[in-house]
Structure 1
Amino acid sequence: MNGDHIDTASPFSIASIVISMTIAAIGSGIMFAYVPYMLTHSDAAGWAAGGAVTAVAFGGLVGCVVGGPLIRRVGHARLFACSMAMVIIAAILIAADLPPIWWIFARGIYGAAANVNFIIAQSWLNHAASNQWRGRAMSFFYMTYVLGLGCGAWIFGQIPTDGNLAPLAVVFFTAIAILPIGLTRLPNPPAPASVNVNVKMAWRISPVGLIGVLASGGLSMVVQGFVPIYASTNQLPQADIALLMFVMQTGLLFVQYPLGILSDRMDRRYVLLIACAIILIAGFGAFLASFSHLVLLMIVFMVFGGAVETVYSIANAHANDRADPGDFVPLSSTLLVAWSTAATIVPLCVTMLTPIFGGRTFIIAAMCVAVAYALFVLRRVKERGPAPEDERESFGIRSAQLPNAATLSEPGKGNPEK
């Protein structure tokens, strides 16, 4: 591959990657709303909808482990087509009206394929973008993907659920998503580094960053995964569930972005404490809010979801601030696996506890995680004092629904600002 060509690539040249992933996100957004809605309105066991959330996260954990070796074996473009094919297979399994256990299995397939797609897309963007605009490119990528999820959720609200039109729409959008990257002229980047997990190293670099990403994995999957289940069990109409999930994604702009800018101007740990406080306040609001006041409820969940996204993005940036170039790839690998592990365990616990404590269990779980993390950050602030401001990277929008696999590519290329 000609490295000079990659370094001089224009912002327009990465459009194929961003377009492909945004179209794929529309299909994912449809399915993230459709599966819990259908499972909660069927004769499936009460744990089935929560089990589907856990399956997505567990599949993601598998995907982040196997993604690197598979890319080294067949290359970025071929594996992208294969992983998109797995998303289509998962949608067809759901469209086939099989028993709920097959739906859960299908969501696991989706989780693995989606994380492989994330690794491919972020690795490709990381190499195609020049140092001058890589950070902005990655932020734009995160923003368009999350808004694509929201648009997919809104589209779900317009689709009849008495047939299999929704999963067929997912097949359609996923197939379309293959075309832009399939036709791109961008050269394949080098194969990504292996997932080299080193928890001791990550703890040495940034305990606040490591535990923050760990916490955000559980927070993201619990809030994003269980909100449609909660709304469905409370008999919220399909169109309103779709609108609720769309509004939640806008928290990325209205909550994360302002707090991210603030974190460039003060100790990020204090901003993490602010984010945890917002999660706690929004959690109380979500716990008490009535579905009869839908607009208020949507605002509360928008803030709730946006604050969750903020914990991920700022904890990740805080870890990056303290990482040497030589440590960046194993650090990113460790954070990726930590995120995926928590994203599997916490929803599983919520699924098991919901029959005992009721449909608001996920709200309590999110609040407990936020309080525990805030206490940990306070302890670190007390022990370490003010954080140095030199060598701080500029904040960029990141999504807790799109774990950062960009640096599993090549040592020294992962940090867009260094």
Structure 2
Amino acid sequence: MHTASPFSIASIVISMTIAAIGSGIMFAYVPFMLTHSGAPSWAAGGAVTAVAFGGLVGCVVGGPLIRRVGHARLFSCSMAMVIIAAVVIASDLPPLWWILARGLYGAAANVNFIIAQSWLNHAASNEWRGRAMSFFYMTYVLGLGCGAWIFGQIPTDGNLAPLAVVLFTSLAILPIGLTRLPNPPAPARVNVDIKMAWRVSPVGLIGVLASGGLSMVVQGFVPIYAATNQVPQTEIALLMFVMQTGLLFVQYPLGMLSDRMDRRYVLLIACAIIVAAGFAALFSSFSHIYLLMFVFMVFGGSVETVYSIANAHANDRADPGDFVPLSSTLLVAWSTAATIVPLAVTMLTPGLGDRTFIVAAMLVAVAYAIFVVRRLKERGPAPEADRESFGVRSAQLPNASALTEPEPGK
């Protein structure tokens, strides 16, 4: 098997970080504009749901498309779809077209991420693969934050923001398009086996399911909430940038703690933080914007923690032969919840108010915590042996490891 040095995979990390900057701009721009342009009240939330649904489609079709045309060609094609989506949004079209464009973006972005993770997993050696993947996650998420910050510096009275997305996406094609790394083997098909995933780890399966809804609700509706409350563009951009740092300041220390004790107890801690941050968000005002930024940083970071630790807990309990179907099932579970929960919040918000997403996230966290407590009583302490080391992961990105292993015999 071909392996590469850590420096040789820089092209993949650089490409995806540049692409993330463009994504961060669009994640901030779309809700801001839909909220301020007289679009229907459901349009901004519909765009969040469309991204998640498109991501689910991308997860399902990514593997077969890679098998058909290869990693490098599909990467260029999916980046082209991101550019098409940005051009549609830059055009003077009704909000429904924006929602369709966000769905196209969701599919393309997930395919891009699947390609990148597949390439990294194949190129990296066992000695440094975990560090490489953690670094990749951190640079990608921080790229999203930088993109949000850049949005704050761009005038919104024209189409400069979507054009900036086109620029960054075009630049992102160059490093990975010129890489000398060989294409990985054909990925496995997505094999969904709910019964197997439940048998291996109910806490892991339900945790990833919960994190799908939590992530898209918190990350998707915070800019809508801020824009609805007439928060200035620059402060919305700073808010979204600060939220991404929760990956470092909340997830990382809790993840390290989960390597030293039963991960289920750490999941309960994360759920408690989500509920506490939710209460703080409910009773905080945008007049104290920097305090609210801290609250949402903790909110977002604790959501990231549920995803990463639930995923690690499931892998702890799985046999090697179950890794691919387990990852496939977790992938589809995350994407399904990331579609359904934002859709429900979008439908309820007109009647219940713009803080509905906060209450929804708190309810999901409470329900999951109750489930974890029940499993602790039923199963008892987790075994200490054969546990994988915690790795930084983002709930904003699909669990694409299902598509990074070749089929048996390949």
Partner of 2:333: 338
Indicate the residue corresponding to 1:373 in structure 2: 368
Q: Which residue number in structure 1 is paired with residue 42 of structure 2?
A: 47
Is the contact between residue 221 and residue 343 of structure 1 (CA under 8 Å) also seen in structure 2?
yes
1:59-74 matches, cutoff 5 A = 59-74=54-69
* 2:256 equivalent in structure 1: 261
Quick one: which of 288, 291, 294 aligns to 1:293? 288
Quote how far apart the aligned CAs of 1:324 are: 1.0
Equivalent residue, structure 2, for 1:403: 398
Deviations 1:252-286 (A, max 9, x none): 00000000000000000000000000000000001
Matched, 1:168 2:137: no
Equivalent pair of 1:286/1:301 in contact (CA under 8 Å): yes
**Helix, strand or coil: the match of 2:383?**
coil
Corresponding residue number in structure 2 for 1:21: 16
> Which of 120, 131, 140 lines up with 2:135 in the alignment?
140
CA distance in 1, matches of 2:185, 2:356: 44
**What is the CA–CA distance in structure 2 between the aligned matches of 1:204 and 1:332, rounded to whole Å?**
14
Amino acid at match of 2:298: V
Alignment counterpart, residue 151 of structure 1, candidates 120, 123, 146: 146
| Counterparts of residues 318-329 of structure 1 (less than 5 Å) | 318-329=313-324
Partner Cα distance (1:125, 1:17) in 2: 8
Distance in structure 1 (CA, Å) of the matches to 2:37 and 2:213: 27
Residues 277, 299 of structure 2: 8 Å contact kept = yes
- What is the CA deviation profile of residues 214-245 of structure 1, one whole-angstrom value per residue up to 9, with x for unaligned ones? 00000000000000000000000000000000
Q: Give the deviation of 1:118 after TM superposition.
A: 1.0
Within 2, Cα distance between the matches of 1:14 and 1:396? Answer: 18
Structure 1 segments unaligned to the other structure (5+ residues):
414-418
Q: In 1, distance between residues paired with 2:402 and 2:100?
A: 29
1:37 aligns with 2:32: yes
Distance of 1:23 and 1:57 partners within structure 2: 21
Q: In 2 relative to 1, CA 136–407 (structure 1 residues): closer, same or farther, beyond 3 Å?
A: farther
Q: Deviations 1:38-82 (Å, cap 9, x if unpaired)?
A: 000011100000000000000000000000000000000000000
Letter in 1 for 2:89: I
Distance in structure 1 (CA, Å) of the matches to 2:343 and 2:186: 33
- Runs of 5+ unmatched residues, structure 2: none
After superposition, what is the alpha-carbon deviation per residue over 1:169-219, rounded to whole angstroms, capped at 9, x for unaligned? 000000000000000000000111111100000000000000000000000
Residues 217 and 340 in structure 1, CA contact (< 8 A), matched pair in contact too: yes
State the SS of the aligned residue for 1:406. Answer: helix
Asked if the contact 1:329/1:411 (under 8 Å) is kept, the reply is no
- Mapped to 1, the partners of 2:120 and 2:191 lie a distance apart of 21
Instruction: Indicate if the aligned counterparts of 2:190 and 2:402 stay in contact, CA closer than 8 A.
Output: no
Counterpart in the other structure of 2:220: 225
TM-score normalised according to structure 2 size: 0.99
* Preserved contact between residue 186 and residue 406 of structure 2 (Cα < 8 Å): no
Residue aligning to 1:394: 389
8 A contact 1:249–1:305 mirrored in 2: yes
State the AA in 1 paired with 2:343. Answer: L
- CA distance, structure 2, for counterparts of residue 260 and residue 97 of structure 1: 45
Secondary structure, in 3 states, of the residue corresponding to 1:195? coil
User: SS at 1:312's partner residue?
Assistant: helix
1:58 alignment counterpart: 53
On the 8 A contact 1:325/1:412 being kept in 2, the answer is no
Distance in 2, Cα, partners of 1:370 & 1:283: 10
Q: 1:325·1:411 contact (CA, 8 Å) conserved in 2?
A: no
1:220–1:343 Cα contact (<8 Å) kept: yes
1:409: Cα distance to partner?
2.2
Letter in 2 for 1:303: V
Shift of 1:404: 1.7
Q: Structure 1, residues 381-416: CA drift from partner, whole Å, max 9, x if none?
A: 000000001000000100000122034222699xxx
Superimposed CA distance per residue, residues 118-148 of structure 1 (whole angstroms, 9 cap, x where no aligned partner): 1100011111110001011000000000000
For these two proteins, the number of residue pairs brought into alignment is: 408
| Structure 1 residue matching 2:401: 3-state secondary structure | coil
Asked whether the equivalents of residues 326 and 412 of structure 1 are also in contact (C-alpha less than 8 Å), the reply is no
Give the conservation status (yes or no) of the 8 Å contact 1:215–1:370.
yes
Q: Detail structure 1 runs of 4+ shifted over 2 Å in the superposition.
A: none
Task: State whether residues 331 and 402 of structure 2, in contact with CA within 8 Å, keep that contact through their aligned partners in structure 1.
Answer: no
Equivalent residue runs for 1:92-111 within 5 Å = 92-111=87-106
Distance in 2, Cα, partners of 1:209 & 1:394: 16
